[in-house]
Structure 1
């Protein structure tokens, strides 16, 4: 049985300040065990690795500076951030290329030990300027909580309508039958944005992928069109553009 899967669900964004704004999109995400890429390419005729197809996975679409191997890149990122736990397996929640196009506002890497314990999570954030930045958290395996919670200062410029002096709070249900990722953004200790994806698991097969593609044929394109469409509506509502700031020091913490 594959660790890789499809998750169909809903992406939600709710802005509270300075104006109220809500959006919901039905989408599907891939959960890809990076050790299973070869099997997926072999088993699904219209899925390819690093070459064109109806649906494809390109290593250079993730990480910084176009890494040739994304698993090796994540392992090196963990080490550079001081994560000491041994990582055996990495699953990533992402949008692949569909009809040659993909844009991932956030890619989440779930890093497991040889005994299949979740030992680290990496959130890779992308902006529409072609830049990416990762927030890395080592997981305290002593916790028995169903949902994981951690937080960090915002370090990376994403939306031109969001200030930089913010703090993120993550609430995560690691992939199982369901998956959930919620990010709350705070400014001056007040919530200004909630963003989330909640989805249900489906086996990753040619049939299930074809069904998802028929339901959501413009899955990836919907994201980038939605970003610009929502930005236009926010601008019409009177929001001012926030200029790119200088570098901000980040502090990551896992909440108890």
Structure 2
């Protein structure tokens, strides 16, 4: 066994419902990194290196506020600011850098208290303009298998999306599988749904090499795919929205909703 850290492989799907239908699907792999386990992982694994370069690598300053090498301290500070109990493991789900290049449209931190209970999820969103913003939301005390949360959209991600929208997050925290579904809604219903569903694999050099062979140039393909999909969206007649200023606060606090899929679909 390799501890809590793991590798998850599965599809990312996007489906836009209006003003016109548009859908995409591609496969990715993501790392679940227990931030306390990083030193041990880097000493044990040959194919995952700290810093910018390597076949695959992880650099703390690609995440958070770009100023902290200790991501756990950074995230713990955000939890304290929000009055959310912490003190336990913080596990980050993200894509690694591949051959020195990294881009994560979404990184997700699963935050636990000292007894190991999931107390909050921090969603770190990054756009292609080099900006980032986070949404921090507490989780129910009873720790259901599926967590539903919501937050107002505060951050400009796509030039084809309005700002006056709401996110609804439906998450099955990491276990044998992980599922993250984000529904974007306006006052009339769903606008877009994006999801990742991954199956767990042990985090070993063999698993990393297989993931690299089957998903070569992963992060470059994600960035190229974003721009290629933008070309197709423009061809369908979608109009551009201007880029507003960044939110005044780097973290938006969201709210829990009923721990049922029905509740999430009607939030």
Whether the TM-score (by the shorter chain) exceeds 0.5 is yes
- Please provide the CA RMSD for this pair: 1.5
> 2:234 is matched with which residue?
235
Distance 1:17 1:51 in 2: 39
CA change 1:248–1:235 in 2 (3 A) is farther
> 1:182 is matched with which residue?
181
Query: What does 1:51-90 align with in structure 2 at a 5 Å threshold?
Result: 51-83=52-84, 85-90=85-90
Structure 1 residue runs of 5 or longer lacking an equivalent are none
Q: Does the CA-based 8 Å contact 1:87-1:119 persist in structure 2?
A: no
Distance 1:108 1:10 in 2: 16
Distance 2:253 2:98 in 1: 36
* Aligned residue pairs, count: 254
> 2:42 is matched with which residue?
41
Q: TM-score, normalised by structure 1?
A: 0.95
Q: Does the CA-based 8 Å contact 2:16-2:191 persist in structure 1?
A: yes
> 2:261 is matched with which residue?
none
> 2:264 is matched with which residue?
none
CA change 1:242–1:248 in 2 (3 A) is farther
Q: TM-score, normalised by structure 2?
A: 0.91
Query: What does 1:1-256 align with in structure 2 at a 5 Å threshold?
Result: 1=1, 2-83=3-84, 85-142=85-142, 145-245=144-244, 247=247, 252-256=254-258
Distance 1:248 1:238 in 2: 32
CA change 1:235–1:66 in 2 (3 A) is farther
Shift of 1:245: 3.0
SS at match of 1:88: strand
Shift of 1:244: 2.0
